[in-house]
Structure 1
Amino acid sequence: MRVLVIELKKLFSGKVFLLIIAAVFTLNAYLMFRTANSGEAVSTDYQKIYDVLDEMTDEEKLDWLDEQLSDFSQATQYKWTAMAELRDECESVLTYKDFLESIDSQAKSMTSISIFAKPDTFNYRSILKTPPAYKNVQDVVPGFDRSQGIILATDNSFTDILCGFIVLFAVLSVMLSDREQGMSGLLFSLKRGRGYLLLTKLATLGVTVFLAVLLLCAENIFISSYLYGLGDLSRPIQSLSGFIGCNLKINIWQYLILYVLFKFIAIFCIGVVLSLIAVNTKNTVSFYGISATILVIEGVLYALIHPLSIYSVFHYINIIAFTKVNEIFCNYKNINFFEYPVPLIPTSISALLIFTLVGGGLSAYIYSKKRNLEFRKIGLKMKYGRSNKVHSQIWYTLYKSLILQKGALVIALFIAVAGFMSHNFMKKYDPSDVYYQYYTEKTKGPINADTIEFFENESARFSDLQSQLNEIQQNEPNNYTKMNELSKQLAPNMGFVPAYERLQQIKNIDGAYMFYDTGYKRAFGKAGYDDDMKYALAAVLLLVFLVSPLIANDNKYKMSFIISSTTSGKRSYLRRNVLAVAIYGLLAALLWIVPYSVTVSQYYGHSGLGGSLRSITDFISLPVNMKVWQYLLLVAVLRTLFVILSALVMLWVSSRCRNTTAAVLINFAIFALPIIIYLLGAKAMVNVGFCPLLSVNAISNNTSMVNIVILTSFIGVLFFITMRNKEYKNEKNR
């Protein structure tokens, strides 16, 4: 118990860890409010309706909602989408008995159909198992009440992601800090310095995870109660929206307890997996690389395998799926386990407990059997095919980073990530954009008299068609055939109008071209996409894991004294690391810019490169009349320079840290965390730190100079600290 208390004190005494916890709770609260008020119907719309419904019976509530939905004069008083949603919920509650009866009737009818009536198939066995699963809820009487608060509190991905950050940093602090500080050799020699110590560390991790889950869930419940209200918590779980198919006979407050316990075990299981990786890896970079690989694989399996697939076991028995508690309990499901249906809920609970216990036990066993992590045996190995050639100093710097510190593994992983991002790039289908592409591609090239004449003729044609349609609607309102035919002919007008309006705006600009510019708008951040920040996150994470160990790992082993005494000295050492970091920055920029450019070109084309940038209406007020290809090149060069600048700042952070873990945490907090927060929904973060520079779009699209001031101040502070440290060292040497 004493060791556990000491481990907890050591964990929570870290300022960085406490800062991360504070940031997580603040961001979680912000995202809760933003989610509740980002849809078409906001929390106040539901509150207004519930205030009227509270004193009614369920039947009266349904009648009132039907009446309001059929009375269009009330549309301004109550939100239509909110009423429609609540009406469907109320109807499902009132028809719960019919739902249970339909399960039996569907099972009977489906077993009589030839394609389902094969006894040796999963479908047949699953159909037979479903009706008995609902026997214990036959007497349940759900009630219609406020559901949105409970659903918001329990069904959001950002809370899981934020809780995952706490787990990751807890594992780093609890499992790797002793190794980073060179304490492993001392701890291994103690009586309880192996298996018992590892189990205590896992217990510390468990306490931390439990507190994090409990407090985050409490925060979610409190905010949801304020926004929507929670309703009667003693009503059956089937009363909640989306839980009509749950076969558990429990109340909502009982489900909340079950939710917290299951969520805790699921998050703790992820922590145990990370701990097992930490025990089996030799350095921090390997830990990050292997952890990211496993989590990416699990995420891909969860996302790509369909729940009804014969491989659905890999979709459900998955550490990512375990965190989706509502999806597990909201409905009775069977997993296809080699053509045998296995109930999802008991299977998930059993698998989760087995993964956690086996992972924890295996971690303790491996840790207790490992050799001293700081002082390894010196063995003689035959080195075939290796020469004694003396390489350049930069070669050894890259060898240390890529081979000894496992940087090559990180690069390989992020090349795969870049390929995955390009593979999953999507162009949303928009009929108006399809027609817009047709007209811009048909008239692509410099704007001349023929271009203007074509658009004027089309404009006259659409005006004539619209006049004919209006005339038929007035004189022949029942002539649907003719009206449908004219409507089809008018359909391209939805794309013609924006193309025609664009022509009117740019036709007098020197060097103006007509071309399909939707892809350029997307790439330049004008179309509402976050491509720049998504690819910037991948580039930043690559650099964080590559650059952070470079000098911090040498600081860990006090190599500065040896380096300073060599012929080349410290300056050459710094120059080599700066050159290596510049190479990594260039690589990260290329892994971002090249795949993205190729992908956008494949989906949107690349016509109009020689035209004026002001041909794109978003740039019509640009004071410099540059060509599109020149602006593309400028953005690529700026992003490359700013990525390299970010890498150099990461190197400076690495030089100030005593171990790799601290360098990774600080660099992650400075560079990656603001981008992640932005992608989670806090759009104001695009103006914070290095985000505007990495994006470049944020600088060109925003007239405010706040982001530049913030960045300049940040760099100024770093420069001031560096100069003060140099002055302090000079005075000390005197």
Structure 2
Amino acid sequence: MEYIKKYPEDMKQIQTNAQQLMTFSIFSDKNSFTYNNIVKTGKDFEKVADVSLYLVNNKAAGSFVNYYYTFYFALIMMVFIIYGLSGERDNGMWGIVHSAGSGRLRLALHRLFIIAGSGVVITAGLYFTTFAAALLLYGGAGALNAPVQSIQAFERFAMPMSQIGFVLYNYVYSALAVVVLSVALWTVFVVNRKRNHALILTGVVVGLEVLMYYRIGLHSIYSAFKQINIVRLMKVNAVISTYANRGRGSFVISESAIMFWALMVILVVSVAVAVVGTVFMRPSQGKNVLTRLTDKLYAGYQHIFANVPVVFKELHKLLVTSRGFTVIVVLLLVVMYFISYGKMAFSDNSRERDRIYLEKGGADYSQISALIDERRADYMQAVQKSMEASEQYENGEIGIDELSQINSTVSIYASRYAAVREFEQKQEYLENLKEETGIDGYMMSDRGYEEIFGKYGKARETVLLMALLVSVVLIVSENIGIETSTGTKYIVNAASGKNTVKVKRIVASLVLCIVLYVLVYGIDMIHLRSYYGMPYTDAPLMSLTFMRDCGFYITVGTFMIIRLIVRLIAMLITFAVTYVLCSRFSEVRGRVVSVLLMAAVIVIAAVMGNVSIW
């Protein structure tokens, strides 16, 4: 509130400071950067001098624009797309592709279009779903037309713009950054003859960039490596919302403009190198030392791999040949994305009440009951004294100052009593629960568990279940489909031990799916426990007010275990149905079946998430 009141004054002060500084002799050189920076600053903030701020719910927009993982996930997904587009480098098709002389330029332009379009679409999907999640979690849709300067972090943002306007403006810059970095990554893949070499080089460069960003100080002689950095580039909001200028002499330019033109230069250079490389690089070349070394390592790996049990070979087929590893990585990214962003930030008062629940609550909550009685008695006593003081004032026995002091005491005790009203309401609920069901409930907070398996956790749980089941369909269907597409299905069926091979294939697929299940819900439970805590898991389930109508006479811990078992059963059913159906169909029909199964599990997961407490 204080920030909103002072904002007009601050803007006027910037204008005044600009005028005053130019009168000082040390800043009066019109050819110096300092003078021109002062002039530019005054002119820029003149645009927002008349912006009128008002108090609104900024929590959704404020938290959203400071969430940067969206762009990291977008870039990781682009790595997979570019890796797939470069497949001819490793599958022997490069010679055929290169022989189409006039088609190489067309191929390069098509790939450029695919990469740019994918970057825009993927960034939009992640960006706007995250924004929608922020609005669902924090509310504030009605505040989107308020000036973005209503958020205190934007007090030095020198453009008159609404919150929704900034969200769109931020998206344009973010999408541009993702597309440019993706095209630059494509260039790395083009100039490297092996996809894996390009991937390793990318990993090394990114690792160095992260290391330099977090290890180099702002005042270090190497600070330029921190300022010109991929990590900083992905924090688009911090660059475009923070007012800062750079330049030399009379030339002054904002950091956001520097970022834009730097991206344009990188884009032009990357496109030129990638297109020229795609058109003119020849597939045949003598093997260098690194290639010969990797070939020897691969031959040794195949020699060892030939002697491992069939189950491990099936696992290798699932993870490597069938691209199961890619599915797993994408699944884990989805899991980390949704569990990291969906967490609720509780107020300090709520956290303090939760601390009291932990220290004085549980099965024996006599200390909390005593605290409630004490605060209520203090408040009632203060009210009684206030009533008596009012009569004394009317009779002329006390003055207005003494009456005001007594009334202010009432306000203090009323505030103290209001602080324990939640405990009092919980106590009344537990007493009614005991009377109606005979259950001795625990005095415990609903907040954390409502995020874990209550109404506020439905979106997270639904997405995790969808992602897991879709991954199972993809892994199982691809494992079966690859045997048909390569013709090994007929070799296996002709062998005498075909049933044994099928059993081992099922075991390998099932083991991998169970590992995925453990990873998804293990990560989820660890995150939820570390952030919200899971106290009083031995408490009756109906101790939680939002579970009053469930009708289950079980503990909180038992309920959570049953929910995990239900998800395991859902995964096993999906596994069995996918295996049976995909085994009965081949080629195109098998692909259609897998797509229909994925659509079915998405619908079923969505329905389960909205109509079932499980």
Query: TM-score with structure 1 length normalisation?
Result: 0.54
Corresponding position of 1:462 = 375
1:544–1:664 Cα contact (<8 Å) kept: no
1:581–1:644 Cα contact (<8 Å) kept: no
Whole-angstrom CA distance in 1 between matches of 2:265 and 2:102: 26
Corresponding position of 2:316 = 399
- Helix, strand or coil at the partner of 1:506: helix
Q: 1:631 to 1:398 in 2, by over 3 A?
A: same
Corresponding position of 2:605 = 690
Residues 1:101 and 2:16 are matched in the alignment: yes
Aligned-residue offset at 1:274:
5.9
Whole-angstrom CA distance in 2 between matches of 1:354 and 1:497: 64
- Helix, strand or coil at the partner of 1:513: coil
Residues 1:431 and 2:349 are matched in the alignment: yes
User: Which of 423, 436, 449 pairs up with 1:496?
Assistant: 423
Aligned-residue offset at 1:531:
4.3
User: Which of 433, 450, 453 pairs up with 1:506?
Assistant: 433
Q: 1:616 to 1:645 in 2, by over 3 A?
A: same
Corresponding position of 1:54 = none
Corresponding position of 2:259 = 348
Residues 1:192 and 2:192 are matched in the alignment: no
1:581–1:648 Cα contact (<8 Å) kept: no
Aligned-residue offset at 1:635:
0.8
For residues 547-604 of structure 1, the C-alpha deviation after alignment (integer angstroms, 9 at most, x for no partner) is 56534444554444444444444x6665444433322221122123334434444555
For residues 153-173 of structure 1, the C-alpha deviation after alignment (integer angstroms, 9 at most, x for no partner) is xx9899x98x969x9699579
Whole-angstrom CA distance in 2 between matches of 1:667 and 1:334: 54
Corresponding position of 1:118 = none
Residues 1:134 and 2:41 are matched in the alignment: yes
Whole-angstrom CA distance in 1 between matches of 2:413 and 2:42: 57
Corresponding position of 2:508 = 580
Query: TM-score with structure 2 length normalisation?
Result: 0.63
Q: Which amino acid aligns with 1:625?
A: Y
Q: Which amino acid aligns with 1:392?
A: P
Aligned-residue offset at 1:352:
1.0
* 1:310-325 matches, cutoff 5 A: 317-318=229-230, 321=233, 324=236
Corresponding position of 1:640 = 568
Q: Which amino acid aligns with 1:690?
A: A
Aligned length: 542
For residues 335-386 of structure 1, the C-alpha deviation after alignment (integer angstroms, 9 at most, x for no partner) is 89xxxx984134212331243234334544654536489xx99977763895
Whole-angstrom CA distance in 2 between matches of 1:409 and 1:88: 52
Corresponding position of 2:281 = 369
Whole-angstrom CA distance in 2 between matches of 1:665 and 1:362: 39
Q: Which amino acid aligns with 2:270?
A: G
Corresponding position of 1:201 = 110
Whole-angstrom CA distance in 2 between matches of 1:668 and 1:623: 34
Whole-angstrom CA distance in 2 between matches of 1:296 and 1:531: 30
* 1:47-196 matches, cutoff 5 A: 92=8, 98-103=13-18, 130-134=37-41, 175=85, 186-194=96-104, 196=105
User: Which of 547, 556, 577 pairs up with 1:619?
Assistant: 547
Residues 1:631 and 2:559 are matched in the alignment: yes
For residues 468-507 of structure 1, the C-alpha deviation after alignment (integer angstroms, 9 at most, x for no partner) is 3334555332347745763575364134223313322322
Aligned-residue offset at 1:458:
4.5
Gaps of 5+ in 1: 1-80, 113-124, 220-226, 232-236, 675-687, 703-734
1:422–1:596 Cα contact (<8 Å) kept: yes
Give % identity.
14
1:205–1:271 Cα contact (<8 Å) kept: no
* 1:532-681 matches, cutoff 5 A: 532-533=461-462, 535-536=464-465, 539=468, 549-569=478-498, 575-602=503-530, 605-646=533-574, 666=595, 670=599
1:436–1:499 Cα contact (<8 Å) kept: no
Q: Which amino acid aligns with 1:134?
A: T
**Which range moves more in the overlay, 412-421 or 198-207?**
412-421
Q: 1:182 to 1:522 in 2, by over 3 A?
A: same
Q: 1:296 to 1:506 in 2, by over 3 A?
A: farther
More helix by share: 2
1:107–1:128 Cα contact (<8 Å) kept: yes
- Helix, strand or coil at the partner of 1:477: helix
**Which range moves more in the overlay, 622-631 or 413-422?**
413-422
2:465–2:605 Cα contact (<8 Å) kept: no
Whole-angstrom CA distance in 2 between matches of 1:527 and 1:244: 32
Whole-angstrom CA distance in 1 between matches of 2:217 and 2:549: 51
Q: 1:664 to 1:199 in 2, by over 3 A?
A: farther
